[in-house]
Chain A
Amino acid sequence: AQTVTQSQPEMSVQEAETVTLSCTYDTSESDYYLFWYKQPPSRQMILVIRQEAYKQQNATENRFSVNFQKAAKSFSLKISDSQLGDAAMYFCAYSVWETSGSRLTFGEGTQLTVNP
């Protein structure tokens, strides 16, 4: 079974600084997808960034970028120029493409605090 592990229950960062959230996963599949989701206090799940395992290039979305190390099964999220609105719970997630849709396996989450 696939598992996703986030070893940092809580992280904090100063506004405008950079923070990296860690995620490791375990799978026997060769083709899969990895995601970072943000869940603010409203509880709405928001997709931050997505990475296809077959792509060697790390995904980036504005201030958000990932460090995808396939051999090490590591998928960390870097948030640059942190903003107060970045404060939220962040979940790392994994899925294998299925014709019936994407069943996501989530990590335990990292609560990010942004200090002004």
Chain B
Amino acid sequence: GAVVSQHPSRVICKSGTSVKIECRSLDFQATTMFWYRQFPKKSLMLMATSNEGSKATYEQGVEKDKFLINHASLTLSTLTVTSAHPEDSSFYICSASRVTGELFFGEGSRLTVL
């Protein structure tokens, strides 16, 4: 089956620094990638949709200047949490969509901001 890889799986950073999380589709070209945020024992909340070569579409209430998304190629999307604060600590999950619409999830990245 198709594989979507996220890196890093865990990251700890100091408050005020920026952190980049990568999402790669390893064996297919992803026309669209999605970024979700998940709090402990809670559901996944869609943050943004990114299409290769165009600006990401952010969901209402998501700060686009804090959560920068870049989809530079058909196999890579990145989420950068800028000037991170403890309230940004969370589990971030990406998913990648094939042209057929089939969706595959990454393993997730746990961010802890001290």
- A window 61-116: CB within 8 A of B: 89, 91, 97, 100-109, 111
CB-CB < 8 A to B42: which residues of A? 108-109
CB-CB < 8 A to A100: which residues of B? 31-32, 49, 51, 97
Alpha-carbon distance A71/B94, docked complex (angstroms) = 32
On whether the beta carbons of A109 and B97 are closer than 8 Å, the reply is: no
B70-114, CB under 8 A of A: which get 1 and which 0? 000000000000000000000101010100010101011000000
On whether the beta carbons of A103 and B34 are closer than 8 Å, the reply is: yes
Closest to A91 in B: B43
Main secondary structure of the interface of A (DSSP, over half): loop
Alpha-carbon distance A109/B34, docked complex (angstroms) = 19
Indicate if B44 sits at the interface (CB-CB under 8 A). Answer: yes
Indicate if B13 sits at the interface (CB-CB under 8 A). Answer: no
Indicate if A44 sits at the interface (CB-CB under 8 A). Answer: yes
On whether the beta carbons of B107 and A44 are closer than 8 Å, the reply is: yes
CB-CB < 8 A to B91: which residues of A? 43
Chain A's interface size range is 10 to 19
Chain B's interface size range is 20 to 34
On whether the beta carbons of A45 and B46 are closer than 8 Å, the reply is: no
CB-CB < 8 A to B49: which residues of A? 100-101, 103
Alpha-carbon distance A18/B95, docked complex (angstroms) = 31
CB-CB < 8 A to B38: which residues of A? 43
Indicate if A30 sits at the interface (CB-CB under 8 A). Answer: no
CB-CB < 8 A to A109: which residues of B? 41-43
Closest to A109 in B: B43
Would you give 24 A-B contacts (Cβ < 8 Å), ordered by A? Answer: A43-B91, A44-B105, A44-B107, A44-B108, A89-B41, A91-B44, A97-B101, A100-B49, A100-B97, A101-B31, A101-B97, A101-B101, A101-B103, A102-B97, A102-B101, A103-B34, A103-B46, A103-B49, A105-B46, A106-B43, A106-B44, A107-B43, A109-B42, A111-B41
Interface residues in chain A, defined as those with a beta carbon under 8 Å from any beta carbon in chain B: 42-45, 47, 89, 91, 97, 100-109, 111
